[in-house]
Amino acid sequence: MNILLMHTHDTGKYISPYGFHVPTGHLMEFAKDAMVFEAMFCASPTCSPSRGAMMTSQYSHCNGLNGLSQRGHDITEKKHHMASYLHEHGYHSILAGVQHERDFWRPLWRAERASRDLGYDTNLSVEDTFVANDTDLLEWDWRNAERVRGFLDSYDGSRPFFLSYGTHATHRIYPELSDEDRKQYDPNYIAVPGNVMNNQSTREDTARLHKSLASYDRCFGRVMQGLKESGLYDQTIIIYTTDHGLPNPYSKCGLKDAGMAVSFIMRVPGFPQSMGRVYDGLLSQIDLLPTLCSLCGLPVPGYAQGRDFSAVFKDPGVRVRDEVFAEVNFHASYEPQRCIRTDRYKYIEYYDNDWKQYNLANCDESVIKQALVEGGIMNRQKAGE
C-alpha cells in the first residue's frame, strides 16, 4: 500500500472539516470520504519537535529533537525517521517541499542534503531562487504540488511509495490582500480564531490567513486530482495533518489545547465503514508510525512509543488511549513544560518559574522602588492568581 502524507504549517484545526467557515473546500471533500480525527494532538507544539515526534514515534526528549532543527537541534538516530524506516522495508521514500526535522528546507542544496540524511531517496522540491518573500513561498508550494502530480502521473508501480508533501502555508507572514481578495475575504465580516481579540487589526490578519488557507487548498486539490486520475486513489493511504496550533497567543508553543490540537484526516482504502466518519477518541501524532506499520503489514519498530490505532478504521467505537502526553523544551528560548491530558482533565507543569519573580526593570528609580528592594521583594514570588 502506498502512503501519501500531506502537512501544513501552523494550521491547528482551523479548516472547514472542523466546523470553521474557511476556504478549504478540497479538504472538506476529502474529509467526507475519509475519517476525521476530532481529538488528535501533537506531542510537542513547536515546529521541529512536533514533526520529529510524529515521524519517529518518539517524544522529543527521547529522539533528541528538542528545538528548531535550523538552530542546531537534531534527531539522534536518523534511521528512526519514518522515511528511513519505510525505505529499509522496500518503499520508495520521496519528499516534496517542507521537512523540518533536519537542518532546513531551503535553499535546495541544503534541503537535498537534509532529506538524504533522513532516508529520502528522492527530493522533488523545485528550486527556490525565485522566492523573494513569504508570499512567493505559496507559489513554491504550488510548484511542488505540480511536481507531486508529475510523480503520480509517471509512477510505474514497481515498489510502493511513501511521499511526504509539506508546504509553507499556513505559516506567517500571511499574504497581503489585493482589492479582489477583499471581496472574497472581507475583513469586515470575518470571525477571528479563539484566544484573539476581535478588532480591525485581528480581522485583517485572519482574512490574510484565509488567503493562505485557500492557497493550500488549491495545492491539496491538485494532488487529489492527480491521485484519482492516475488510478492511485484507492491504492494509497492518504493523511492530511499539521504540526500544531495557530501562531496566536496561548496557541503555538503552548500546551493548552489551542496549541496541541491538530487537524488529522486519514483515508485507508478497504475500510468503507470508516469513510465519512468522525473518531472522537484521544490520539497522539506519535501513534502514526505504528499504525502505518500495522496497515501495511510491517513490523512496528521497537523504539516506537506510539500506539497502533488501525483498529478504529474497522470499528470507530474502539478506544485506543485514555491520555496523551506533550512537552515543550525549546522554540525561540528555553521554556520547559510538560502536560498530560485526558478526556476531562489536563495538567500542565511549568519548570522555568522565573515569571513568578518580581521584575522591577521597567520601574522608574524612586524612594518607593528602593524601599521595595530593601524590603526583599526581589526574593519573593508573586501571589498566585
Complete DSSP assignment for 120-181: -SEE-PPP-TT--SHHHHHHHHHHHHHHHHHHHHH---SS-EEEEEE-STTPSSPPPPPHHH
Helical axes 288-295 vs 47-56, angle rounded to 10°: 30
pLDDT at 384: 54
Please state, as a whole number, how many other Cβ atoms lie within 10 Å of the Cβ of residue 318: 13
pLDDT tens readout for residues 55-114:
999 999 999 999 999 999 999 999 999 999 999 999 999 999 999 999 998 898 999 999
Dist CA 270 CA 1 (whole Å): 11
CA dihedral over 325, 330, 332, 335, signed as positive or negative: positive
CA dihedral over 56, 58, 60, 64, signed as positive or negative: negative
pLDDT of 186 over the 70 cut: yes
pLDDT tens readout for residues 273-331:
999 999 999 999 999 999 999 999 999 999 999 999 999 999 999 999 999 999 999 99
Helical axes 200-229 vs 134-154, angle rounded to 10°: 10
Q: What is the mean pLDDT of the chain?
A: 95
- Which part of the chain is CATH 3.40.720.10? 2-341
pLDDT of 126 over the 80 cut: yes
pLDDT of 355 over the 70 cut: no
pLDDT mean over 334-344: 96
pLDDT mean over 174-185: 96
Backbone angles phi, psi at 177, to 5 degrees: -100, 125
Spatial contact of 68 and 330, defined as CB atoms under 8 Å apart: yes
pLDDT of 381 over the 90 cut: no
Query: Between 376 and 294, whose confidence is greater?
Result: 294
**6 has which bridge partners?**
165, 240
Alpha carbons within 13 angstroms on the beta-carbon side of residue 226 total 20
Spatial contact of 243 and 166, defined as CB atoms under 8 Å apart: no
What's the topology of domain 2-341? Alkaline Phosphatase, subunit A (3.40.720)
What is the percentage of the chain residues whose pLDDT exceeds 70? 98
What is the percentage of the chain residues whose pLDDT exceeds 90? 85
Cis peptide before 173 (omega within 30 of 0): yes
pTM of the model: 0.92
pLDDT mean over 265-274: 98
Split at pLDDT 50, 70, 90, the class of 198 is very high
